[in-house]
Structure 1
Amino acid sequence: MSIGLFHTRLNVSNSMLGAPVLTLDLLVDTVHKKVSGIASVFQATWPTVNFRARVWGSYSEAKLTSKVENHIILTLDGSPSGPLSQIAQTFHLKGILAGDWASGFVDYRYEEQGQWHEMKHVAVHQAPTVEPQPVPHPYLPLYAVAVQQAQASGDLAQLKSVVQQAEQQLAHEDVLRGALEQLNAEIARLEAR
């Protein structure tokens, strides 16, 4: 386990098709044994659920068996606007997690539309990490329409202007690509030292 602050994202579900899924997006302060973050409950089947609350709480570490590994006893409360709000709490969770925060079981309840929903002994799993997608090209020249309009109007000056803009943009892109290659070569040279 990390020392200081760390982020963890947990999925809580009983693996039944159509059952609600609780996602806990938590920031853990190991120095003060405090936890805060967001709890979201989603259920796509009828009756649909789309619940969200800010959560806060604490945890303690305990050895529950004679084994060497520690377990986490986690307690969370939540409301739509945080712990200092005058709005009543709409979320409660108590559970036991493995010492690495990656698995365990919890009981939780949440209030939606004036009615409390209670879930008992639900499995906790580490949420899959989402790999960042590559950033698409920052611009996409769309000159076909401008070229077609210039051709249709018979305006040769407009057609030349559109073609010149496209050529300038492509030349600018080649200059940037060349500069990036030079930077990468310099980095490789410095790393070789």
Structure 2
Amino acid sequence: MSIGLFHTRLNVTNSLLGAPVLTLDLLVDTVNKKVSGVASIFQSTYPPLNFRARVWGEYSEAKLIPEAENHIILTLEGSPSGPTSQIAQTFGLQGILGADWASGFASYKYFAQDHWTAVTHAAVSQAPALRQEQTEHPYHPHLPLYAVAVQQAQASGDLAQLKSVVSQGEQQLASSGALRSALEQLHAEIARLEAR
């Protein structure tokens, strides 16, 4: 087990088709034996569910059998806004995990759709890591779109203003294939206006 802080993602579910799947995205503080993070529950069957809560809690290490490895005894509480808010608790979990935080069993409850639901003895497994889409540019600034300026230039018939706006758009959006076709349409509009 890591010392200090580490991140782990866990799925908690039973084997029933359509059963809710709890995903715990946790930051573990091994020095203080504290845990915090986010709990998300998704269920695609009726009634559909998309529950989310901020969670916090603690854990301890114990040997359940003298010859066996240590186990983690995890207790979590949760609410929509965190431990210091005045909003009532909407989530609770008790679990026993392996020392590697990758397997075990847990029981949890959550408050959604005006009632508490309890899930008992669900299997805990390592959740797949979140994948970020790989793109050409790691940073995508918000680019202004020039629709209003183009519409105003078209309405006024000011060809110089329309060319200026299109030029600015070309400079900022030249790398985007989807927007190239829009720019080509604007060039066609400029040509049409010049032909008048």
Distance 2:191 2:80 in 1: 58
Q: CA 1:103–1:92 in 2, change beyond 3 Å: closer, same or farther?
A: same
Does structure 1 residue 148 correspond to structure 2 residue 188?
yes
Q: Which residue of 1 aligns with 2:18?
A: 18
SS in 1 for 2:124: strand
Distance 1:125 1:72 in 2: 14
Deviation at 1:68, TM superposition (A): 4.4
Letter in 2 for 1:96: I
Q: Which residue of 1 aligns with 2:150?
A: none
Letter in 1 for 2:187: V
Deviation at 1:41, TM superposition (A): 1.1
Q: Which residue of 1 aligns with 2:87?
A: 87
Distance 2:77 2:71 in 1: 20
Structure 1 unaligned residues grouped into runs of 5+: 156-193
Structure 2 unaligned residues grouped into runs of 5+: 141-174
SS in 1 for 2:83: coil
Q: CA 1:151–1:60 in 2, change beyond 3 Å: closer, same or farther?
A: same
Q: CA 1:131–1:40 in 2, change beyond 3 Å: closer, same or farther?
A: closer
TM-score, structure 1 normalization:
0.74
Aligned residues: 155
Letter in 2 for 1:152: R
Deviation at 1:136, TM superposition (A): 3.7
SS in 1 for 2:187: helix
Question: Percent identity among equivalent residues?
Answer: 62
Q: Which residue of 2 aligns with 1:39?
A: 39
TM-score, structure 2 normalization:
0.73
Q: Which residue of 1 aligns with 2:118?
A: 118
Offset from partner CA, 1:54-105 (integer Å, 9 cap, x none): 1111000111123342110000111111112222211110010011101110
Does structure 1 residue 27 correspond to structure 2 residue 67?
no
Q: Which residue of 1 aligns with 2:97?
A: 97
Letter in 1 for 2:135: V
Q: CA 1:86–1:132 in 2, change beyond 3 Å: closer, same or farther?
A: closer
Deviation at 1:112, TM superposition (A): 1.2
Distance 1:17 1:27 in 2: 29
4+ aligned runs moved over 3 Å, structure 1:
136-139, 150-155
